[in-house]
Structure 1
Amino acid sequence: MMNPFRRHKSDSKVVPRIPTSDKFRMPPEEYPHEGTWLQWPHNFGWDPDHVQRYEATWIAMTQALHTGEKVHIIVYNDAEQERVQHILSQPPNSMDMTQIDFYTFHTDDVWVRDNGPIFVFDTNSEDEEELCITNWIFNAWGGKADDYYDNYVPLKVGHALELPVMDVPMVLEGGSIEVDGRGTLMAKRSSILNANRNKGWTQQDAERFFSHYLGVTNFIWLDGKKGGSDITDDHIDGTARFANGDTIVTFYKEDFVAPKEYKILQNAKDAQGQPYKMVHLPCTKHKLKRVGDYGIYTNFYVANKVVLVPAFDDPNDKVAMDKLARLYPTRQAVGIPCTEVYRDGGLVHCITQQQPAKQRK
């Protein structure tokens, strides 16, 4: 049976034309949220132990988030909804279930940052910016995994929320871009300008799409690294993040595999030509036993009242949380256990997606 939501994916090297009408703006992560979207782990996909390995992380995220904003949880089926509702509502969790709602959509995996809706504002309305969804093509990081269901999550969310959905004829994962909210986008060529995503596209082609659909005019590009053990071909949210519109959060110089990328960040200018402040986060002090590498903290998530910080039961967990607490003094830094998620290549930013609050101009 054909998937009714399946969208044609062309291998053509011809870059699609961008419509001349309407332009959009993606707000930064710190912008007030209506809520956060999660795709709850289930055992119906490639890993029959996903729930056992992952669920403590999702419970911790929901607990931390739900006092400051809505938590929108995508579950695989009705039985999973009933099971997750029970876990969250009963002791020892006992969460306020009026802050949590559920959407029953089949999913392949949990990486809602990459396959989920990217919310933007339509800037053409006269008195109020209209919230809408940009539906970029998700092809499972260049065809490396299943995308039968995940590619259609933005469309299903749009239908459920009765929001306009803009189909964008470009392959993109949400974790491969970072915006400062002041006109600048940061990204890596290795994932976006990769033949397994946008074959034949130039950097200028991608920038045209970003300018139209995300409202950016200034770009910071790092080369990144294709292939290897990273299924994403090196997303920007594992290396550098924007904070408060004027700051880049990244590793220390000595932790960069490619030192020239650090130099690019160090010399980067915003859309007004001003340099960014730099905040450096450590890696874990020790290699993670079940991962075989050091943990990173740059993949944090900024919500209304909290900053979710990857935690690995390592001495540097506190160092990273203290730094992020100083960077976001009105929010509480909360450590989220991430070792199991990190084994599969992601952290808290990869498994969350913000929905901006609708505000008048």
Structure 2
Amino acid sequence: MSPNSENSPPIAGWRMPAEWVPHARTYLSWPAHTSLYRADLPAVRDTVARLARAVADHEPVALLARPEHRDAAQRAVGGAVEVLPIPVDDLWTRDHGPTFVSRPGAVAGVDFGFNGWGDKQHPHEDDHRVARRLLDHLGLPRLAAGIVAEGGSLEVDGEGTLLATESSLLNDNRNPGRDKEHVEAVLGELLGIDKVIWLAGVRGADITDCHVDALARFAAPGVVLLDRPAAGSAPDEWTAVSDQALKALQHATDARGRPLEVVELPAPDRSRIRGSGDFLASYLNYYVANGAVFVPSFGDGRADDHARGLLAELHPGRAVVQLDIDPIARYGGGIHCATQQEPAMTM
């Protein structure tokens, strides 16, 4: 079944580029969720502002903010960041914003119908409309997906291969009655995907139902970085998720028939982390921008240094910038979750 393309151009030829290709700009969002963040909201906003300013050193950045918050947001991010008056509820632009696709001479955005990660979070009425409103503002075509997904559930190599977790995309809280074949067909048409490598993930352990962007990421075609438990970690549902993913990736081939090189990236020592519960302690939730890679630091010096060195090796020619993002990591997200890239137009 084809995606719903009402008010959309023909979709043939669109492809989701790999994150490391040149960007036109990066988008972030200014959180408005006073009921969720309460006393933490100033620290959360400060973290978003610091991230926006850091990325703006390397490429254009636009920050989405509710119109009544526009002036305060502009003061926080400074003149190097453009603030767009688009209502948002939360800061997770990767998930509520459009997923951009391109073809020669054109860029479009896929609207995956954000529903609060399977209706787990309220309110998200404005977040549900962010993709449409941003694409209207930019004058870019909108491709209505016809399935529900979030950008953090989609990891591509730019050559036709997608990494995804069954727990997120094949979940009745998003796509009831939609089987694997249907979801693959829609993603194939929308994102130019020839092969999906499915990882099991885990349902209900976090708000995202195990988004792939904190578990496994392409560092290059044929090369996958995998989040692994810190040394000495006790077995739990997350170590089981990583173990399953390791076995699946070791036996997988990509869309071009290549076996995958799996590079393990250990998580930090949880005892060093200033947070608990939903805290996202994964270096995998990094962001590749023009000329730089942005990765969390968690206060475990050895693990922080290892993550920085490994990402520098895998992304030569890019500066590796580490940021303390604890205020947003405490709410289950990271740098990748907070950002969304618009690819530069190719001819």
| Distance (Å, rounded) in 2 between the aligned partners of 1:286 and 1:231 | 20
Tell me which moved more, 41-50 or 30-39. 41-50
What secondary structure is seen at the aligned counterpart in 2 of 1:61? Answer: helix
Tell me which protein shows more helix as a share of its residues: 2
What secondary structure is seen at the aligned counterpart in 2 of 1:169? Answer: coil
What secondary structure is seen at the aligned counterpart in 2 of 1:133? Answer: strand
Q: 1:202 aligns with which of 179, 198, 220?
A: 179
| Distance (Å, rounded) in 2 between the aligned partners of 1:248 and 1:189 | 18
What secondary structure is seen at the aligned counterpart in 1 of 2:178? Answer: coil
| Counterpart position of 2:296 | 310
| Counterpart position of 2:236 | none
Letter in 1 for 2:98: P
Query: Do 1:286 and 1:294's aligned partners in 2 also have CA atoms closer than 8 Å?
Result: no
Shift of 1:65: 1.0
Query: Do 2:287 and 2:293's aligned partners in 1 also have CA atoms closer than 8 Å?
Result: yes
Letter in 2 for 1:352: T
| Counterpart position of 1:170 | 147
What secondary structure is seen at the aligned counterpart in 2 of 1:299? Answer: coil
1:109 equivalent in alignment to 2:75? no
What secondary structure is seen at the aligned counterpart in 2 of 1:171? Answer: coil
| Counterpart position of 1:93 | none
| Counterpart position of 1:226 | 203
What secondary structure is seen at the aligned counterpart in 2 of 1:197? Answer: coil
Letter in 1 for 2:186: F
What secondary structure is seen at the aligned counterpart in 2 of 1:48? Answer: helix
| Counterpart position of 1:12 | none
Equivalent residues in 2 for 1:67-78, closer than 5 Å: 67-78=57-68
Equivalent residues in 2 for 1:44-59, closer than 5 Å: 44-59=34-49
| Distance (Å, rounded) in 2 between the aligned partners of 1:25 and 1:150 | 24
Q: 1:158 aligns with which of 135, 146, 157?
A: 135
| Counterpart position of 1:22 | 11
Per the normalisation by structure 1, the TM-score is 0.86
What secondary structure is seen at the aligned counterpart in 2 of 1:296? Answer: coil
| Distance (Å, rounded) in 1 between the aligned partners of 2:45 and 2:305 | 23
Q: 1:290 aligns with which of 269, 275, 285?
A: 275
- Over 3 Å counting, the alpha-carbon distance change for 1:164 and 1:21 in structure 2 is closer
* Residue-by-residue CA offset, 1:154-177 (whole Å, 9 max, x unaligned): 111111111111112110111011
| Counterpart position of 2:245 | 261
Shift of 1:51: 3.1
1:139 equivalent in alignment to 2:108? no
Shift of 1:49: 3.0
Q: 1:280 aligns with which of 264, 267, 279?
A: 264
| Counterpart position of 1:237 | 213
Shift of 1:44: 4.2
| Counterpart position of 2:101 | 120
Letter in 2 for 1:47: Y
- Over 3 Å counting, the alpha-carbon distance change for 1:305 and 1:17 in structure 2 is closer
1:356 equivalent in alignment to 2:343? yes
| Distance (Å, rounded) in 2 between the aligned partners of 1:50 and 1:108 | 15
| Counterpart position of 2:106 | 130
- Over 3 Å counting, the alpha-carbon distance change for 1:191 and 1:43 in structure 2 is closer
Letter in 2 for 1:358: M
1:84 equivalent in alignment to 2:73? yes
Q: 1:184 aligns with which of 154, 158, 161?
A: 161
- Over 3 Å counting, the alpha-carbon distance change for 1:277 and 1:88 in structure 2 is same
| Distance (Å, rounded) in 1 between the aligned partners of 2:280 and 2:65 | 31
Shift of 1:193: 0.7
Unaligned 5+ segments in structure 2 are 234-238
- Over 3 Å counting, the alpha-carbon distance change for 1:235 and 1:43 in structure 2 is closer
Query: Do 1:65 and 1:303's aligned partners in 2 also have CA atoms closer than 8 Å?
Result: yes
